[in-house]
Structure 1
């Protein structure tokens, strides 16, 4: 899968006191670069230092090739990556956060063996959200 990066940040879920502000800001800035036609938008987690407690990069991205210039930054996620998919309860205001907490609990309990390569949240045009966790 090839994704065009709109915005990226480097952060940490537990040590960055500006985490929420950073994430809200890049989503807001990335939204100004979305194409007119409705497309899936991704929050891609990559360049992990260690596990979910370490530093990582979050890139807001969209599918496909850009029609602009060759300087666009892309992510190439290998097609053979195995994922565990999680459905987010979109009726829950904290659905994404609660799904991540569930993922972390599964990992802590030895029920999820993560690869820490490329994980992503997929936001569909119809409002559905799925989280994909790369498996080792």
Structure 2
């Protein structure tokens, strides 16, 4: 799968006190380019330093092949987590569940490309790359 990057940041969930502001600002900056986009929008987590506690790059992307580009390997395996969009903190709660599953040894992540998929109908899924 080839995705065109709209905007990116580098951050850390645990050591960057401005992580939420950076993510919010990144999505706001991308919103102009996404206003007319009518298919799936991706939040792509990649370039992991280590695991979920390390630095990573987060990019807003759409399907397409213009530069800058992210190419997701077609043989990547994913575990899919559906986000409860009725909860105000649905995305954060889903990520918390993912981290808990990993801490408990029930999720073996590969730390290649993880995807948040935002569908036009309002549904959201988080696809976690697994070994």
Q: Normalising TM by the smaller chain, what interval?
A: over 0.9
Partner of 1:105: 100
CA distance in 1, matches of 2:127, 2:60: 15
Check if 1:123 corresponds to 2:118: yes
Check if 1:86 corresponds to 2:96: no
Displacement over 4 Å in runs of 4+: none
> If the length of structure 1 is used for normalisation, what is the TM-score?
0.94
Partner of 1:11: 11
Check if 1:114 corresponds to 2:109: yes
> If the length of structure 2 is used for normalisation, what is the TM-score?
0.97
Gaps of 5+ in 2: none
C-alpha spacing 1:60/1:37, structure 2 compared with 1 (3 Å): closer
CA distance in 2, matches of 1:30, 1:98: 24
SS of residue matched to 2:92: helix
Q: How many residues align?
A: 131
Partner of 1:57: 57
| Cα-to-partner distance string for 1:98-120 (whole Å, 9 max, x where unaligned) | 00000000000000000000001
Check if 1:26 corresponds to 2:21: no
Gaps of 5+ in 1: 67-71
